[in-house]
Amino acid sequence: RIADDRSLRYREVRRIAYFNVGGRLLLESIEETRWSNVKLEKNKAKQTPLKHSAALHEEAKDFCFLASLIPSLQREIMLQNKANPTINKSTGLPRKRFYRARAHSNPLSDSHFPVPLSPSLVDYSLHYPQLFPSSDRSDGSKKIEFADIGCGFGGLLISLSTLFPETLMIGMELRDKVTEYVKERILGLRVANPGQYQNVSVVRTNSMKYIPNYFEKGQLSKMFFLFPDPHFKEKNHRRRVISPHLLDEYAYVLKVGGIIYTITDVEELGEWMKSCLQNHPMFEPLSEMELDADPVVKLLSTATEEGQKVARNGGQTFQAVYRRIKPASQENS
């Protein structure tokens, strides 16, 4: 029981540290407990209010480590957050009903989220703190290889994380609340399972516009498009996440031999995605044998909440799995 409580408190502290932009709560907690025995160049945290979340993030990272050493501080935080309804007290995982959002989001809008200027500026220490303690990445260090586009509530990523523990993966989601939910979920799992789930993260972004900002040429080995928005009306077909033009960009970030997985329960969309991929010179379909041999293919329809809903309702799914190839005519290798 004591072990559970401590992990709960640790998670709470980390959660506050990460997601409360108003650093006041954090600072008040620090001030109220006396912990002068802990050497803190974060003494400055006591004095200056931290307005920017980036600065707070730095403080929070160190704070989280130290907080686990200070029982009195943990108790303090715990008391203050007793009545937080958004987290399930027993599992430490977020409650979905507080993170509900519309299924549909407009991909054309220029929302307000930061976008990295180029792939080398993606902060891996923010997403994978245990594997990348500092923001500086050497040239030979690991890079993200799996990308779940429109990851929703994160079902697929969670399954993939334990299936491929050595691979870095990321989910991209346009909706604000849903991204928050996935963040909480990952944090909760990281705390409850030390050492695991360190290779998975999520980012809020418009993947139709900014994929080249996150990934270098030929960086990814797998891309997932599970149950994308069908955009039924013909005038909205251009908003679909799989389209002949966008496939150029996906082919750019996928390495030769990399695989793109798509699945949907809408037949027309399934036909559309299949024909886009079939007609694109840089993709070829996987053979039946290869599909059977790939463990990921089974996850497509079972791992996500959307997939489980379709199965519950007895619906049919249409999948298209293609491999990135070199185009037939190549002047420059």
Partner 1 sequence: MDGAQMEDFRIEECENDNNTHEDSQMEESEQNNKHMEVAPALISVHPTRNSVAVAVGSDLRVFNLLEDCAVILVDEAGGASHNDSIRGIKYGANGKLFVSAGDDKLVKVWSTESWRCIATVCSEKRVSAVAISNDGLHVCFADKFGVVWVVDLPGVDKTQAPLNKKAVPLLAHYCSIITSLEFSPDGHFIVSADRDFKIRVTVFPKKPLDGAHEVQSFCLGHTEFVSCLAFICTPDSPQGILVSGGGDSTVRMWDIISGSLLDTCAVGAKAQFESDTTEGNCSTVTDICTIPACTLIAVAIQSLRGIMLLSCDLSSRTLSVMKVVSIIGENFVPTSLGSSISGGLLWMVTGASKLRGSDVSSLSRVKVISGFEKSSPDTSEQEPAVLGDSEIPGGAKLLEKLQGSISVDEKVFLAAADAVKTAMCNLLIKKQYSDEKREFRKRTRNDRKSKH
Q: Tokens at residue 58, please? A: 């730095």
In the list 26, 64, 156, 208, the residue contacting partner 1 (rule: CB under 8 A) is 208
Residues 149/184, Cβ–Cβ less than 8 Å = no
Give the integer Cα–Cα distance in Å for 261 and 173: 17
Relative to beta strand 283-285, strand 318-324 is antiparallel
Does residue 235 interact with partner 1 by CB under 8 A? yes
Which span (69-77, 91-99, 240-248, 309-317) binds partner 1, by CB under 8 A? Answer: 240-248
Give the integer Cα–Cα distance in Å for 91 and 310: 26
Q: How far is the CB of 181 from partner 1 (least distance, A)?
A: 22
Point out the catalytic residue in the list 5, 136, 139, 229.
Answer: 229
Does residue 251 interact with partner 1 by CB under 8 A? yes
Show contacts with partner 1 in window 301-320 (CB under 8 A): none
Report the SS3 class of residue 328.
coil
Residues 132-142: b if buried by 16+ CB within 10 A, e if exposed: beeeebeeeee
Binding mask 111-140 for partner 1 (x = CB under 8 A): ------xxx---------------------
Residues 164/146, Cβ–Cβ less than 8 Å = yes
In the list 10, 19, 252, 318, the residue contacting partner 1 (rule: CB under 8 A) is 252
CA 154 to chain centroid: 7
Look-up: residue for tokens 């791992």? 303
Does residue 103 interact with partner 1 by CB under 8 A? no
Which span (195-203, 238-246, 264-272, 310-318) binds partner 1, by CB under 8 A? Answer: 238-246
| Residues labelled catalytic | 229
Residues that bind partner 1 (CB under 8 A): 107-108, 110, 117-119, 208-209, 212-213, 217, 235, 244-249, 251-252, 280-282, 327, 329-332
